[in-house]
Amino acid sequence: MTPRQAFWRVFRWSARVALLSGTAFVLWLLAVWPPPTWYRTHWPRKTPFMAVRHDDSVRRYIPVTLANISPHLVRAVIVAEDHRFREHGGIDYAAMRDAVGYRRRDFSWRDPRDRRELWRALRKVAGNPGDLRGASTITQQLAKNLYLSSSRNPMRKVKEGVLAWRLERALGKDRVLELYMNIAELGTGIWGVEAASQKYFGRSAKGLGARDAAALAATLPHPRTSNPAYRPGRMRWRQNLILGRMGW
């Protein structure tokens, strides 16, 4: 056996061990966390992210159904945060592939070019794990907000993926979107689109037009430092980007 053959034998063995270990861990998570069916009909009283902020005295949190949210706002949030939301099953593998920089269309362990490209992409993302944040779906963000924290521990991404898969199957797309839009942080002490709409625009989320809807969606990535009441220049740039993608 040549050194090259020995290397690939060890590599394949290590990959199988890692796959089996990962599968066992995911199965353990499925056993530990019951299906999130409670959220089909209930709103969270306080999420882990709300608890971390310590803003009880100023918290604005007014959950509303999707029917009481402007269609412009629903569309703006999907366009801004997860344009394939209706297509994926909780995890957008195409977005993850793009985020890690894997440039080949398919993958096979038997193809040395695929293996080299995967290794290059993994080394890149290991050096800059923040690249994966842009690939998070709305469902993954909901999983993080409902159950986890802002920790950047790599295992959190695994937990987030398992939870996203379960949320999609337990709740369905509309309820996932409804929950996300009601517990997302949209400013200091402001949680959800209804509280944000009343605070920034003086009216219900149901009555928002396209421009105000895009402004709220533009707030989502950095709600404390870029919202309609603070650093509007940065928020306006993203608002116009979202409006362009919506065709306005």
pLDDT digit string (tens) for the chain, length 248 residues? 676 666 667 667 777 766 766 666 666 555 555 568 889 999 999 998 899 888 888 899 999 999 999 999 999 999 999 999 999 999 887 776 666 655 666 656 677 766 676 667 666 655 555 555 556 899 999 999 998 876 666 677 778 888 898 899 999 999 999 999 999 999 999 999 999 999 999 999 999 999 999 999 999 989 999 999 988 888 999 999 999 999 99
In angstroms, the CA 145 to CA 140 distance is: 9
Which residue from 201, 205, 241 is spatially nearest to 221, judged by alpha carbons? 241
* CA distances in angstroms from 144 to 106, 133, 204, listed in the order given: 29, 12, 27
Contact 164, 143 (CB under 8 A): yes
Tokens 């920034």 belong to: 200
* CA distances in angstroms from 204 to 70, 169, 181, 213, listed in the order given: 9, 30, 14, 11
Q: Provide the residue type at 87 as one letter.
A: E
Which one-letter DSSP state was computed for residue 34?
P
Helical (H) or strand (E) element with 155? helix 154-171
Phi, psi angles (nearest 5°) of residue 60? -115, 120
- Which stretches within the chain are classed as H helix? 3-32, 48-53, 71-81, 93-100, 112-127, 138-147, 154-171, 173-183, 193-201, 210-219, 232-246
